[in-house]
A and B are shown apart, each in its own frame.
Chain A
Amino acid sequence: MNAGADLPAPRRLLPLRLEDVVFEVGSRQIIRGISTTLEAGSRTIILGPNGAGKSVLLRLCHGLLKPTAGVVAWNSPELPGGPRRQAMVFQRPVMLRRSALGNVMYALRLAGVPHGQRKERALGALRTVGLEACAHHAARVLSGGEQQRLALARIWALHPEVLFLDEPTANLDPGATHEIERIIAALHAAGTKIVMVTHNLGQAHRLGDEILFMHEGRLVERAPAEHFLKHPESSEAANYLEGELPW
């Protein structure tokens, strides 16, 4: 019996439950037993010093890494080999040697979008991120900021339920950063759950609803963004906020 066949639409991916998740490389523990739940809706920002395990945690959630121990469980997991319902934006996006449009259409093909619908949907996504004029330019010769916008156009076209972002503006100037933040806000407004790693406290303040603070592979604090940024409860978080520049 296939109970799923009776459901009108796939059940939602979220919440994502992490239970005692450990990740080791050799004898080194990078994630040391994290248990938490990510709910739909709010924008979650992950903060923490270098080496805290933020990027590794994102990759564990996204399925790029398998935990050494513990459980990473979605409410309704993606089907193996089926289209992905979650996506990730990396610090340095990787573009294929095709046009900007070709890159978005490639992602749509992998997501199982019928051939006839891909171009229109891809162009719509490029329009949203302000890259329509570059649709036929080679993606790899676009500037860093444009490539990151193209990465977000790819996401926009896919309409994922969850989007993980690993310091997406780390290499960008303020103008490009502002543009990326605008697009992330639009993605959230369109219903995508945002989970983002950043070192930029201003960005955490602008984009975050809640903060997860990590230190040495542990989840030390979880609090609403306003509260955390003004009144961190742990000494590690207080030290971190003191050391970071506030823009």
Chain B
Amino acid sequence: MNSISEAAGQAFGLVAAADPKLVGIVVLSLRISLTAVLIGCAIGLPLGAAVAVNRFAGRRVLIVILNGLMGLPSVVVGLIVYLLLSRAGPLGSWGILFTPTAMVIAQAILITPTLAALSRQVVADSWQEYREQLRSLGETGLGAAATLLWDLRFSLVTIVLAGFGRAASEVGAVMIVGGNIDGVTRVMTTTIALETSKGDLPLALGLGFILLAIVLALNAGAYLVKETAQRRYG
């Protein structure tokens, strides 16, 4: 008990002093996860909306696959990306294994199905309401998907956050493809795992606090945006 409170005290000290090592790790983590979320949104949201709005052969199978991939274990993603990017792998010539870029790719692969599956659900629910009106106005296919994505933008904020939460909190994939190299690919979650096993609890706890604070702040922000927008736009 004593060691926990001591570690917590030192952790607050590190956070308050904006310890450069700690700041570096936090900035790298955010950079990687936000880039992965951007890529995931660019692919996942249009994919989800298109599947929700269009009827085509194999649609049901695709929906089941997307839903299933939401539970993709991050270590499995890490392993697959590792095999693809390792020297002997098909993309080995890129030479990006153990770089932040590899970590972005792994996280993007991890969260894209989640973004697609959740946005498909949100868009499909609203499509019932919009379908006749949009078809009557002459909007079909991908145009309708784009219109719905924009119209549901405030509901989608929560989905994007879920994607960010998953990316920022996973440890397996980034550990495997990043290698947890100090100052290069060491992010919050891998640091917490490493420092805990080494017994350096203050740094691990400090990062834990920050990770929690970021996730809470983002959720609070998203909630406010949604509330305000709903009052304003209905």
By a beta-carbon cutoff of 8 Å, the part of chain A in contact with chain B is 59, 62, 64, 83-84, 87-88, 90, 93-94, 96-98, 106-107, 110-111, 138-141, 154
Q: With A138-B234, A141-B233, A141-B234 known to touch, is A97 a contact of B137 (CB < 8 Å)?
A: no
A87-B136, A97-B151, A107-B137 known; A138-B130 Cβ under 8 A: no
Would you call B133 an interface residue if the criterion is a C-beta within 8 Å of the partner chain's C-beta atoms? Answer: yes
In the complex the two chains form, is A94's CB within 8 Å of B133's CB?
yes
In the complex, which residues of chain B have a beta carbon less than 8 angstroms from the beta carbon of A140?
233-234
**What number of A-B contacts does a CB cutoff of 8 Å give?**
52
Q: Which of B132, B137, B143, B232 contacts A138 (CB 8 A)?
A: B232
Q: Are A83 and B138 in contact (CB under 8 A)?
A: yes
Does A64 contact B151, Cβ atoms closer than 8 Å? no
Q: Is B129 at the interface (CB under 8 A from chain A)?
A: yes
- The residue of chain B having its C-beta at the shortest distance from the C-beta of A151 within the complex is B133
B139 close to chain A: CB less than 8 A:
yes
Chain A residue numbers with a CB within 8 Å of B152 are 97
B136 adjacent to A96 (CB under 8 Å): no
Chain A residues with CB under 8 A of B139: 110
User: A138–B133 contact, CB under 8 A?
Assistant: no
- Measured CB to CB, the closest approach of chain B to A167, in angstroms, equals 14
How distant is B204 from chain A, measured CB to nearest CB, in Å? Answer: 44
Given A96-B151, A138-B233, A140-B234, answer yes or no on A62-B136 (Cβ-Cβ < 8 Å): yes
Given contacts A64-B135, A140-B233, 13 further A-B contacts (CB under 8 A): A84-B138, A88-B136, A90-B132, A93-B133, A94-B134, A96-B147, A97-B153, A97-B229, A107-B137, A110-B139, A111-B137, A139-B234, A141-B234
B151: chain A residues within 8 A (beta carbon):
96-98
B133 A110 Cβ-Cβ under 8 A: no
Q: Which residues of chain B are within 8 angstroms of A83 by Cβ–Cβ distance?
A: 138
A102 → chain B, closest Cβ, in Å? 10
Pull 27 A–B residue pairs with CB atoms less than 8 Å apart, ordered by A.
Answer: A59-B132, A62-B136, A64-B135, A83-B138, A84-B137, A87-B137, A90-B136, A94-B129, A94-B133, A96-B147, A97-B152, A97-B154, A97-B229, A97-B233, A97-B234, A98-B151, A106-B137, A106-B147, A110-B139, A110-B143, A111-B137, A138-B233, A138-B234, A140-B233, A140-B234, A141-B232, A141-B233
CA distance A178 to B47 in the complex (A): 45
CA separation between A110 and B134, bound complex, in Å?
10
Find chain A residues with CB under 8 A from B233 CB.
Answer: 97-98, 138, 140-141
Q: Give bound CA distance, A62 to B135, whole Å.
A: 10
Shortest Cβ distance from A99 into B: residue:
B233
Please report B residues at the A interface, Cβ cutoff 8 Å. Answer: 129-130, 132-139, 143, 147, 151-154, 229, 232-234
Complex contacts, B134 vs chain A, CB 8 Å: 94
Most buried by B among A90, A97, A106: A97
* Contact A64:B132 (CB < 8 A) given known A138-B232, A140-B233: yes
Complex CA–CA separation, A228 to B135 (angstroms)? 34
CA distance A133 to B31 in the complex (A): 45
Selected from A59, A94, A111, A141, the residue in CB contact (under 8 A) with B138 is A111
Q: How far is the CB of B146 from chain A (nearest CB, A)?
A: 11
For A138, the chain B residues whose CB sits under 8 A away are: 232-234
Distance from A28 Cβ to chain B, minimum over Cβ atoms (Å)? 20
A contact residues around B129 at 8 Å (CB): 94
Are the C-beta atoms of A64 and B234 separated by less than 8 Å?
Answer: no
CB distance from A152 to the nearest CB of B (A): 13
Contact B138 A64 (CB under 8 A): no
- B163 to nearest A CB, angstroms? 22
Q: How far is the CA of A139 from the CA of B233 in the complex (A)?
A: 7
Question: Nearest chain B CB to A23's CB is how many angstroms away?
Answer: 15
Q: Which residues of A contact B136 (CB under 8 A)?
A: 62, 64, 84, 87-88, 90
How far is B118's CA from A129's CA once the two chains are assembled, in angstroms? 39
CB nearest neighbor in A for B139: A110
A162 to B132, CA, bound (A): 17
Closest to B126 in A: A94
**Shortest distance in angstroms between A239's beta carbon and chain B's nearest beta carbon?**
31
